[in-house]
Chains A and B, each alone.
Chain A
């Protein structure tokens, strides 16, 4: 720091009859070797919309690949994590990842058309470019689940975040004991990933139980019943099983009831939550439930967390 001519400046300046201070001009603020902004967690990375699959009305499956080849190949996530998706000009929204980390290269996001950002996404076409950052959140505790039985219970749109866990378990079949999927939708044409899941019905290394509440078209091959009805066919040992649950509130209510009746400890029941988010990295405050942030402590919470956090469901 060069020694300033203190007295001269001060005389120009001091006291009630002071004159205006000369403007501050010296700006030795940043050195070239020190970037002004360090690693920016809010930076969206550009990704190309590879494919739009009009899976279910207002619930399409979008496949993305990062433009940056290194990122496209290097991106890894845990099942149950989410990304922040930016649609140019519309904004940013949290979307759970539906593809499994065991199938890298692309990201599949099952997006419900519900607001400004998702509305704009539905107007995009293949080859359009979006921004993606992440992955965020805790994801399913797969390291804790491994070696145990896995019971996945999904209702309606709840399959979207659970599909990543399902395929992770199938692709790492030897890490888990039994795998059971229970999934119920209102009608066959509202079932997410229907064809893919139907193809699992005959597999012997996992139990795939699918049901619909009603079958207006009369083409449904599997069961017609409510989701809790599938519990008749499930034998789960609560001491060796982790249950992953996602769905609308009514699904939580009945599935949780059944799991508790089976004797599941509350910390072996895992739930995926949805909240408004603006940052995804524990700053903006929007996704708080009680004293936790959905984006950092969640979106996967145990049922024990859920009953101890106010406002959670």
Chain B
């Protein structure tokens, strides 16, 4: 990461330390076991004891995380879900308070104690939750997010990158913590990393389903890991990217993107690390009783930086597009030590006018899109 100087704490270590500090359930993988692939449905039923089971499911031509009523619906070999698991922790719309003239503002806690097991989360999406932890902890921890984070178990699964994945460039192709269990496909088995005490309980609850790992299993894991590494088709260099963003603040590329962008905010909605939200009070007609509701927001929306009285600090679309890239690749690095991007490829996949983050970064770097180091050797 370009921002980090020799001798200073590495961004990854900062992230790890911060997350560890705030999430005591993360102590790193304590052991590795393996689960026979054909026993996965058995294990899924065991997981019912730990909460509602949610997993990726194919729907209308894409994948979504949703509650699995039949194990046959779940798809563990999927590319990417339409929405990231963020929706479980920061729902698109949630009530923060109910208020009445008599009682004032009473925190809404309904639904917060729902126990969920999220099975089949990719490394980049787990990484993105570790990043959201940085934002929703800090000096003022967000109790709604925190409670959901405590009550939702995460079971990761490895994946094969497709033509939009660049998590490797964003250092999010593997994740060392933030999951309860993580499954690596090694053929007839899932090599299983146990990340937390809860994950250990899940393994124990499964009785004899899990087996010990042999040296051959580890060799197979390494072989597949190497193979996966070579499957990446996209590469982008993030070293000194914050500095380049600083220098290219006046670049004409922003005006070009501003002319293309529709300000629809789709990229923010599907982004696993976008967390901007709006808060509004909803009242019943003729009453001062009601609810304080928070909803997802996007810095691309026209009024995001508008203050009361009419002033808008990011009036032009170009300035808003620029802000979104700038905040993720420059601002977040300054604040938290790494970009708030995990390379999942959702924003490029969903953009109705084809704005592609790889193309933007490579143009800023002065690297031709078609001639990136990796694409050339592919």
B15 to chain A, nearest CB (A): 17
- Whether, in the assembled complex, A24 has its beta carbon less than 8 Å from a beta carbon of chain B, the answer is yes
Tell me which residues across on chain B come within 8 A of A279, comparing CB atoms. Answer: 277, 279
Binding site for A on B (CB under 8 A): 41-42, 44-46, 48-49, 51-53, 68-72, 96-97, 99, 101, 104-105, 107, 109, 112-115, 135-136, 138-144, 146-147, 151, 201, 204-207, 209, 249, 275-281, 283, 287-290, 292, 294, 297, 299, 304-309, 313-314, 319, 323, 326-327, 330-332, 334-335
Tell me which residues across on chain B come within 8 A of A21, comparing CB atoms. Answer: 45, 48, 53, 68-71
Q: What would be 24 A-B contacts, judged by CB atoms less than 8 Å apart?
A: A1-B49, A2-B49, A3-B207, A4-B49, A6-B45, A21-B45, A21-B70, A24-B52, A24-B53, A27-B113, A29-B114, A29-B151, A37-B109, A43-B97, A89-B283, A91-B279, A91-B281, A112-B308, A115-B309, A275-B313, A278-B294, A283-B142, A290-B331, A311-B305
Chain A residue at minimum C-beta to C-beta distance from B280: A91
- Contact partner of B51 (CB less than 8 A), chosen from A24, A40, A117, A131, is A24
- Whether, in the assembled complex, A10 has its beta carbon less than 8 Å from a beta carbon of chain B, the answer is yes
Tell me which residues across on chain B come within 8 A of A276, comparing CB atoms. Answer: 304-308
Tell me which residues across on chain A come within 8 A of B142, comparing CB atoms. Answer: 41-42, 283
- Whether, in the assembled complex, A13 has its beta carbon less than 8 Å from a beta carbon of chain B, the answer is yes
The answer to whether A88 and B331 touch across the interface, beta carbons within 8 angstroms, is no
Chain B residue at minimum C-beta to C-beta distance from A133: B105
Binding site for B on A (CB under 8 A): 1-4, 6-7, 9-10, 12-16, 18-22, 24, 26-27, 29-30, 36-44, 46, 86, 88-93, 112, 114-115, 117-118, 129, 131, 274-276, 278-279, 281-286, 288-292, 296, 310-311
The answer to whether A27 and B45 touch across the interface, beta carbons within 8 angstroms, is no
Which applies to chain A's interface (DSSP): helix, strand, loop or mixed? loop
Q: A14-B71, A112-B309 are in contact. Are A26 and B49 (CB under 8 A)?
A: yes
Tell me which residues across on chain A come within 8 A of B51, comparing CB atoms. Answer: 24
The answer to whether B319 and A38 touch across the interface, beta carbons within 8 angstroms, is no
Tell me which residues across on chain B come within 8 A of A281, comparing CB atoms. Answer: 139-140
The answer to whether B70 and A291 touch across the interface, beta carbons within 8 angstroms, is no
Tell me which residues across on chain A come within 8 A of B205, comparing CB atoms. Answer: 1, 3-4, 6
- Contact partner of B281 (CB less than 8 A), chosen from A22, A92, A282, A284, is A92
Tell me which residues across on chain A come within 8 A of B297, comparing CB atoms. Answer: 278, 284-286
